[in-house]
Amino acid sequence: MNDFTSPQTFPVKHIAESTVRRLSLYLRFLEEFEAKGHETISSGELAAFGGTTSAQVRKDLSFFGSFGKRGLGYSVKDLTAAIREILGLEHPWSVIIVGAGKIGAALAQYRGFSSRGFTVVGVYDKEPARVGLKLDGLVVRPESELERDIHRLKPQIAVITVPAEAAQALVDRVTAAGIKAVLNFAPAPLTVPDGVTLRAVNMATELEILAFTLTNGTTV
Amino acid sequence: MNDFTSPQTFPVKHIAESTVRRLSLYLRFLEEFEAKGHETISSGELAAFGGTTSAQVRKDLSFFGSFGKRGLGYSVKDLTAAIREILGLEHPWSVIIVGAGKIGAALAQYRGFSSRGFTVVGVYDKEPARVGLKLDGLVVRPESELERDIHRLKPQIAVITVPAEAAQALVDRVTAAGIKAVLNFAPAPLTVPDGVTLRAVNMATELEILAFTLTNGTTV
DNA sequence: GGGGGCTTGTGAAATCATTCACAAGCTACA
DNA sequence: TGTAGCTTGTGAATGATTTCACAAGCCCCC
């Protein structure tokens, strides 16, 4: 029972990361579906896109409420709104990128972020040669300004794209200054204080999982 | 019992992706450990690095054999070699990058790949303006050469970094030409023929998982 | 208004992954 | 040679996630 008349909170015990990851996927498909002008979608259709099963889709959603109509499926518009709210995308997030090397610069200019409500409010580098570079309207700023800017702009998320050996020190600085979530692209294990969320993306690991699968048959 | 005297095959039923991902991490820590001159390492030390437990480390390894000495731990050198062999890193892999935009160019120049046995043998783009660009010794080639080059150079892995709407057509082309594994950076769901492995990396999803955690408390 | 054909939402069952707990085995040293 | 102190390797237990299966509910049409 869910009438969408008021902002809801989703009283959550513990949600598996796999569920959250799939919700993010569903959201992407829903947006495509909406662009095509479809009004409703069934769990089976959503599952077909995402390579999962209709039961999985329904179970994922059931942790947060019931959003469909039996016999009919889901309103594309309403389900989109519901998932956006579940994921916390109803208000925009501010992101800083620490490290203006190849990856940092690529991310700073990546359209996929801004289109989903993540606004890059600062890009930082230690190298004087990179400070002042223009990346898509943003100017690379010196790392020494990090603390001041975090206090001023209050970004919630920091993306770390510096070399492995510099990563921990910078994470310490940005979390001390108030950053609450870190997305780490540096190939180094990082630790963060309690209350700060950390995720890591490691390109080499992704290729190594492919290598394992190629080597050991289709057994992942 | 495992004497490393002959190339082994690891007679594997089904290994969880989480296990393979951790093995890749362990490998990174082992290399650091080796660089520091340590000769042996215990499952507990390895676990401390990776934010897991000693039992998990031992269980992960136990799927492939026994590599340690009771009472002593693991020889850093031998375990490194064993994991490299498990992951299939004992011989080099050839990679092509399809799409020489920001992300593609960044990946083409990323040191982390070559240092782990992944050699980028070609970068491709459709845009005449990008064809001919030099990326770290590689010259961007026209997409029309894809099939010819795949037949000639026999790369096993393709990294897809083109816009979402172009991705499926290119995956169809490279898999038809013989590519056996695809790493997809395009924010689009792709399908591949049987026998081809597909993995996806989606930056927006990673940020959305962070947003969920920030919104819903520390419940992932 | 009633029946047929769908599709959701959800407990229960099955599968999969992690953690526990301990015997077995190694080294060091008396 | 025997004992103490570690650490591995691994079945068994626990915990988490996915799949199953079906009652409940909705729409359409007769």
CA atoms within 13 A on the CB side of B44: 3
A52 touches strand C (CB under 7 A): no
Residues forming CATH 1.10.10.10 domain(s) in chain A? 17-87
Read off the pLDDT of each residue in A174-203 and give the average, rounded to a whole number: 95
List the structure tokens of B181.
Answer: 């594994």
Q: Which residues of B touch A154 (CB under 8 A)?
A: none
Cβ of A70 near strand C (under 7 Å)? The reply is yes
Tell me the pLDDT band of A205, cut-offs 50, 70 and 90: very high
C-alpha span between A195 and B217 (Å, rounded): 9
- In chain B, which residues have pLDDT < 70? 1-12, 218-220
Q: CATH: 3.40.50.720, 3.90.1150.10, 1.10.1760.20, 3.40.50.300. Which one for A93-205?
A: 3.40.50.720
Q: Could you write out the three-class secondary structure of chain A?
A: CCCCCCCCCCCCCCCCHHHHHHHHHHHHHHHHHHHCCCCEECHHHHHHHHCCCHHHHHHHHHCCCCCEECCCEEEHHHHHHHHHHHHCCCCCEEEEEECCCHHHHHHHCCHHHHCCCEEEEEEEECCCCCCCCEECCEEEEEHHHHHHHHHHHCCCEEEECCCHHHHHHHHHHHHHCCCCEEEECCCCCCCCCCCCEEEECCHHHHHHHHHHHHHCCCCC
Q: What is the pLDDT of residue A137?
A: 87
List, by residue range, all CATH 3.40.50.720 domains of chain B: 93-205
pLDDT digits (tens, 9 = 90+) for B140-180: 999 999 999 999 999 999 999 999 999 999 999 999 999 99
Instruction: Return the pLDDT at A180.
Output: 97
Contact (CB, 8 A) for B160 and A210: no
Q: What is the largest CA-CA distance in chain A?
A: 62
pLDDT recorded at residue A220: 53
pLDDT top residue among A82 and A13? A82
Closest CA–CA distance from residue B204 to any residue of chain A (Å): 6
Nucleotide nearest to A18 (CA to C1'): D17
A98 Cα distance to chain centroid: 16
Q: For strand C, is any atom closer than 7 Å to the CB of A61?
A: yes
CATH 1.10.3730.10 for domain B17-87, yes or no, is: no
Contact B138, B113 (CB under 8 A): no
Predicted pLDDT at A7:
43
CA distance A116 to B204: 8
**Distance from residue A52 (CA) to nucleotide D19 (C1'), in Å?**
11
Burial code (b: 16+ CB inside 10 Å, e: under 16) for B86-115 equals bbbbeeebebbbbbbbbbbbbbbbbebbee
Q: What percent of chain A has pLDDT over 90?
A: 85
